[in-house]
Structure 1
Amino acid sequence: MIRPETPPLSDRIANAAFLAVIGLAGLLPYERRIPAVGWLFAHVLAPLAGWRRRIRENLALARPDLTPAEVKALIRAVPDNAGRSVAEIYSAEEFTSRIRDADPLEGPGLPALGAAFDAHRPVIVACAHFGNYDAMRAALAGRGWPVGALYRPMNNEAFNRHYIPAIGAIAQPLFPRGRAGLASMLRFLKGGGWLALGFDQYDRHGAELRFFGLPSRTVLTPAELALRYDALLVPVHGIRCSDGLRFRVLVGEPIEPGEPGAMMQALNDDLEMLVRRHMDQWFWVHRRWK
């Protein structure tokens, strides 16, 4: 019998610290728990992890017009949103029930999603590290729509042991990156399933498109899969409301079939417009421009 490899001590220590924070936060009522973890991310994790410097560098590239006061506010607001999102993932039952009860789906592409479901047509849900990605999954699943997602296991195996069940409790199915996950994902898509795919991170093998007017290597996979399987390609984003707890889930206009690069540029443009309206909700920590 092959025993699972023990994670390195540093990974186990980091994981134990994370679980301690989540465990303590779990003692708070939901309305206090979510902002409390957001505060910890903004004021403790972000400085230790170097997030503030990276946010400042990315803003200097993409939004050099911002004032120092606006940059300072975003350096705190962006990690706060990330922390709230993590707390929501680990509050799956309360989080998903709130989303399901609110039914926050809206936007010009919503009728097209309903028609795709009725026709058993596959859908590529183009999403980003914006607001809370899992609010979108919870909202679609709350309607009984078959949304699956591709995920990348974390490098910290000790963390994966609770993270993957946590995201799985929000919506199923999940497909890990890799050969086995890819085969299952394609079978699901061919059978009329809906697949959530991110497109807003740097991909060294991607096409050089534009984002905030800057050259940005962008993955073409969402467009290529949509064309290959005659799937609807539609941007869907969970926008955090001003109270920090509720969401609007915006379904954009479906992307017209065409050349994959042009389709992905349309998604980049759509996301840029949304980020400009809600600068604090995109994860400016990513190295999007290299």
Structure 2
Amino acid sequence: MALLPARTKARAREAAKSIGGSLIGAATVGMLRTTRYFDPAKTSDFFARVVKLIGPRLREHRIGRANLTAAFPEKSPEEIEQILMGVWDNLGRVGAEFAHMDQVWDYERDDPENSRIELPARSIELFDQIRDDGKPALIFAAHLANWELPALAAVSHGLDAAILYRRPNIASADRIIQEMRQVNMGTLIPAGRDAPLRLAQALKDGKHVAMLIDQYLTGGVEVTFFGRKTRANPMLARLLRQVECPIHGVRIIRLPGGRFTAEITEEIQPVRDADGKIDIQGTTQAITSVVESWVREHPEQWLWLHRRWR
């Protein structure tokens, strides 16, 4: 039997990949749309149970175990596994909550006792200050608890926000995700070649630019995270070189009963070089250290399942 030409094989692989992507995209769209019709709390519990059953059988579980063992050498294997189960629980809940973002962000400033979101008094003051000071700002967050909520926290306090996000590879999934993010997340800027220019322009226009900064980036600057060398995205520090403005971090803490705490840090001072310019590596390290302190407090709420150290 004659072998297929290499070009034909390549086309067949691309066609299969396209069909597979379409099927996954259709399944994602169907799941998210269907999930919106169910009770948010029950859906969150159900997704958490399912993901806790499936997760430990995946390669990512081994990655997470290795990451946690290196980050917390003082913890026993049993403690590491307990944290990992919390990670899967949290991830399942994030998936369920994504379909109910308009209900998950439930904060009434005049009625905080009956809100799902808790905001410390100082965080409220800081959000108001950032909104009213007439300056742009850079805001960073991490994959903690529900990492969609920092954007909602900013916008709900009246911040004119521009949010950097990563598009899914599957177009149909991207469309439904965008639809659900339209709850009110400000201006959404997809990661890509022109993202730095668009983000810099947003800062020049006085907007508050927000991004997740805790994942590994090939070609990023070297930082120390949990005592180990890794690489981090220097985009925030590079933007700061172009437009000097305040830096703040926003974190979300998951609480029992489908509740969350949203906190914003005091202004973080950038690191400068001998000439007074923003030190890209030093500033990236400074914000990475803030993220590490957050993760140490609630390790079960961070996404340990990716190869953060390589």
Higher mean displacement: 213-222 or 111-120: 111-120
CA distance in 1, matches of 2:19, 2:108: 40
Trace 1:1-290 onto structure 2 (pairs within 5 A).
8-44=18-54, 46-47=55-56, 49-96=58-105, 98-99=106-107, 102=115, 104-106=118-120, 111-243=125-257, 245-258=258-271, 259-290=279-310
Post-superposition Cα deviations, 1:261-288, rounded to whole Å, max 9, x if no partner, equal 2222221222112111101111001211
The amino acid of 1:12's aligned partner reads S
Asked if the contact 1:223/1:263 (under 8 Å) is kept, the reply is yes
Post-superposition Cα deviations, 1:94-117, rounded to whole Å, max 9, x if no partner, equal 123x14563633375654443332
Asked if the contact 2:21/2:170 (under 8 Å) is kept, the reply is yes
Q: 1:100 to 1:142 in 2, by over 3 A?
A: farther
CA distance in 2, matches of 1:138, 1:40: 27
Asked if the contact 1:62/1:212 (under 8 Å) is kept, the reply is yes
Q: 1:6 to 1:89 in 2, by over 3 A?
A: farther
Asked if the contact 1:108/1:252 (under 8 Å) is kept, the reply is no
Segments of 5+ residues of structure 1 without an aligned counterpart are: none
Give the count of matched residue pairs: 283
CA distance in 2, matches of 1:155, 1:282: 23
CA distance in 1, matches of 2:171, 2:127: 36
Secondary structure of 1:133 counterpart: coil
Secondary structure of 1:203 counterpart: strand
Q: 1:200 to 1:41 in 2, by over 3 A?
A: same
Secondary structure of 1:270 counterpart: helix
Asked if the contact 1:106/1:251 (under 8 Å) is kept, the reply is no
Q: 1:110 to 1:210 in 2, by over 3 A?
A: farther
Asked if the contact 2:248/2:266 (under 8 Å) is kept, the reply is yes
Asked if the contact 2:131/2:157 (under 8 Å) is kept, the reply is no
Secondary structure of 2:256 counterpart: coil
Asked if the contact 2:230/2:309 (under 8 Å) is kept, the reply is yes
CA distance in 2, matches of 1:134, 1:106: 19
Please give the TM-score of this superposition, normalised by the length of structure 1. 0.88
Please give the TM-score of this superposition, normalised by the length of structure 2. 0.83
CA distance in 2, matches of 1:39, 1:21: 16
CA distance in 2, matches of 1:254, 1:110: 14
Quote how far apart the aligned CAs of 1:185 are. Answer: 2.8
Segments of 5+ residues of structure 2 without an aligned counterpart are: 1-14, 110-114, 272-278
Asked if the contact 1:38/1:83 (under 8 Å) is kept, the reply is yes
CA distance in 1, matches of 2:24, 2:74: 37
Secondary structure of 2:167 counterpart: coil
Quote how far apart the aligned CAs of 1:91 are. Answer: 0.8
Higher mean displacement: 78-87 or 209-218: 78-87
Post-superposition Cα deviations, 1:96-143, rounded to whole Å, max 9, x if no partner, equal 3x1456363337565444333212211111111111122211122111
Q: CA RMSD in A?
A: 2.4
Identity of paired residues, percent? 25
